[in-house]
Structure 1
Amino acid sequence: MIEPAVVTAEPLVIRPETAADAPAIAALTRTAFATAPHTDGNEHRLVGRLRDAGALALSLVAEGEDGELVGHAAFSPATAPAGGGDWYALGPISVRPDRQRQGVGGRLIRAGLEELTARGAAGCTVLGDPSYYERFGFEPAPAAAPPGVPAEYFRIKPLTAAAPAGPVRFHPIFGV
């Protein structure tokens, strides 16, 4: 279980979300994606639907020095081909616009991957900017990309198992 931890570079606490955080997470996600180039504007609803379905396997928030949420990372279950172990999908990940490019997202991703590793997860997938996610060890895996997902943006990070032998499936809420 992730315990709140203060990162010394900037006052920041990474902790699991609580029920009371849900409205702030929705507002933060809506704001974070408002000007994103590849968005449908529904990321905040996606997080809510995952939560309502009990499919937020890990949901981390970053609190700034003032106690306000400045970041959020969602991890939901994913399914690998038979025998592939427990896989998870990272996303959406949201950082308040005035705190972007300050390492908040990276801290959330690292904390989430550490927790998934501690849980014995087989691996984690992400759909996003390859150059950003590769710095966290996510690698190209076109053969594991779910049908209908642009393979050039699909990445995996094996944690305790080998890469899946075939396409990974996201939680049905993602609609892919």
Structure 2
Amino acid sequence: MNKIIIRSEQAKDIAEISEVIRLAFLNSEYSSHTEQFIVNSLRQNDVLTLSLVAEIDHILVGHIAISPVQLSTHELGWYGFGPVSILPKMQKQGIGSQLILSALEILKDLKAKGCVLLGDPNYYHRFGFKSYAELILKDVPAQYFQAISFNKNIPQAIVTYHSAFNATE
């Protein structure tokens, strides 16, 4: 496999990003199949803090979206990963790991306090994410809602994602 380039999205990438996201979740049984609409809505609402793409030979093969989340404590500086999308034929080649690690480093540079996500604990544990009883996403099994703190403090709070996560088209 040729070198993977991780970079910020450009306006010319938007349609291709949507297609990468759609294909990445096409056969996922735990998907609402609206992930591409969510990213577009985050972008339209100007709350897409980070939108990174993975590119190989000028072809987009992956994407990660990062947006702010609200905590019931009103503490600022927390963000949510999602979705993380890799073209099916390119999965399990380390592309997602590179996107995640790049996004975490950028969040640290932005002085973020922490990041949350909804996903497979067996996968995200390797990046330092884990479930915390004091950090809650309503109506989600606790083991799948995970966080990483950049300052070692985990707030006792209920987390809410932006309303863009309700987008269906």
Normalising by structure 2, we get a TM-score of 0.93
Q: Distance in 1 between matches of 2:94 and 2:72?
A: 34
1:37-58 deviation digits (Å, cap 9, x = unpaired):
2011111111111111111111
Q: Distance in 1 between matches of 2:164 and 2:152?
A: 25
Match in the other structure for 1:11 = 3
In structure 1, list runs of 5 or more residues that go unmatched: 1-8
1:21 to 13, 19, 23: 13
Alignment of 1:17-166 (within 5 A): 17-64=9-56, 66-82=57-73, 84-160=75-151, 162-166=153-157
- Whether contact under 8 Å (1:81, 1:164) holds in the other structure is no
1:168 aligns with 2:163: no
In structure 2, list runs of 5 or more residues that go unmatched: none
- Whether contact under 8 Å (1:142, 1:154) holds in the other structure is no
Displacement of 1:77 = 0.4
Displacement of 1:20 = 1.0
Matched residue SS, 1:107: helix
Matched residue SS, 1:69: strand
- Percent of aligned pairs sharing the same letter: 39
Normalising by structure 1, we get a TM-score of 0.89
Q: Distance in 2 between matches of 1:30 and 1:85?
A: 31
Q: Distance in 2 between matches of 1:25 and 1:174?
A: 17
- Whether contact under 8 Å (2:115, 2:147) holds in the other structure is yes
Q: What residue identity is the alignment partner of 1:174? A: F
Q: What residue identity is the alignment partner of 1:93? A: V
Q: CA 1:99–1:83 in structure 2 vs 1: closer, same or farther (change >3 Å)?
A: same
Displacement of 1:161 = 5.1
Matched residue SS, 2:157: coil
Matched residue SS, 1:62: strand
Displacement of 1:132 = 0.5
Matched residue SS, 1:148: coil
RMSD across aligned positions (CA): 1.4
Displacement of 1:84 = 3.0
Q: How many residues are treated as equivalent by the alignment?
A: 166
